[in-house]
Structure formats: C-alpha cells, structure tokens
Amino acid sequence: MRALRILLITAVILGGLFTIGDRLAVNYAESEAAERIAANQGLAAGSADVSIKGFPFLTQVMGKELDQVDVTLTGVEASAGGRKVRVTEMDAALKNVRLKNNFSTAVAASASGTARISYADLAKASGEDVTLGYGGNGKVKVTGSVELPVLGSVTRSVLSSVSVVGGETIRVRADKVPGEGIPGLEDRVRERTDFDRQVGGLPAGLKLTKVEATPEGLTVTVTGTDVVLAG
C-alpha cells in the first residue's frame, strides 16, 4: 500500500509539472503567434490576440497540427476598390491548423468569423461625399448632395440594402429614391449613394459570405479554407 501511495503521489506531481509546462509553452506560443500575425498583416504590436485551444498543447505541436486557434485582429486596413477601409475588429476561429516549414507557416483547414466596419470608415471608402449611418431594420442610411440645374444643391437621404457579391465585394444599393417629379434626380442621387467596394487585404483564404447592418456598423461574416495564419 505504501508503494502504491508513493506511485500515486509521484504521478500527481509529474502530471502537475507536465500541466504547468504545457501551459507555459502554450502561453509562449500564443504570444509569438500574435506577434507574427500582426507583422504579417502590417499591424502595430498588440493588434493581434491568439488563443490556442485543446489540451495537451505539446502533443499537438509534436503532431504539427493544432485543433483550434482563435484569432482577434484590430485595426486591419483592407483595400476596397483602390481605397483603404479600416476593419475595426475581426474575430476568427481556425480549425485543424497545420504547422509547416519548420513551424514558420501555419495553415488552417477551415475558418469562420466576423469582421466589423464602422459607418464612418465605410463612408471614407465609398468614393463619394456622403455620410452613412444605421437606418433601422437592417438598412443603411446614406445621405448625399447633388447639384441640379436651376435648383442648385439638393440633399437626399435614402435607405439602402447591403449585400455581398462574389465573396469579396460589399454592395450598397438604395431601395428607392424620392424623385418628386424632378427629371434626372434619382439617377444623380444614385450616383452618390449606390456603390460597390471590393474588399481585399484580409488574411489569405478568407472570403466575405454575409453582411448585416447594425447600429454599430456593418457586421461581415467571413469563412475560408486553407487560411494562412503566418508565413
């Protein structure tokens, strides 16, 4: 019985030491991965946060595949139709992350997450002198001014629907434009308020799948396969 107790105590101590070592290793790996991802995306230090799921971590590393890695990026600047649009924050859960090239590259078999874009940042990328805000019921309120003969400057606000086209383009279209019998008014207003913006610059492998207007801005759903974390 005494020998059994010693064996059990030794097992508990060794198990505790392994757990501590495993947690220290995963904390270090998360910090290193966050720095590498931030550098790879051209972000400032501290703009990326990484959480590696699953236990034990060390056995996952030995097998060169991690069960899941959650990544949060803030301040990503994506290109949108030749302009820059700031993505306020992006969260992504990456599954079955393969470690390659002597651990210098990590590629996720699949990924899903959300990206948030403020209306002010979307307006900057619109290419027109307009203001954007939440219009209620999942719509975007777009306000712009146009110059018309005789009447001069005319300002109109419209409620617009937002959608994703082709996995990389955000489309904003006014549901309707009050014409008020003024010839050419609707076409001129739509020149200001309707626009498409192709979004690039996100981590390789991610695509836009859905966009929703909320009071805080646009919430964009992103998914992908073979998503490159770092390299």
pLDDT of residue 42 exceeding 90, the answer is no
pLDDT one-digit tens code per residue, 63-107: 888 888 898 888 777 666 666 677 888 888 999 988 887 767 788
Reported pTM? 0.76
pLDDT of residue 220: 92
Helix (H) or strand (E) holding 212: strand 206-214
Confidence of residue 109 (pLDDT cuts 50, 70, 90): very high
Residue reference for tokens 């030749």: 82
Residue 140 in tokens: 């975007």
pLDDT one-digit tens code per residue, 180-197: 667 777 787 888 888 888
Start-end of H helices in 160-231:
185-193
CA–CA gap between residue 25 and residue 60 (Å, rounded): 12
Instruction: Give the CA angle between residues 83, 88, 91 to the nearest 5°.
Output: 120
pLDDT of residue 138: 92
- Of 89, 100, 63, the residue nearest 226 (C-alpha): 100
Helix (H) or strand (E) holding 5: helix 2-40
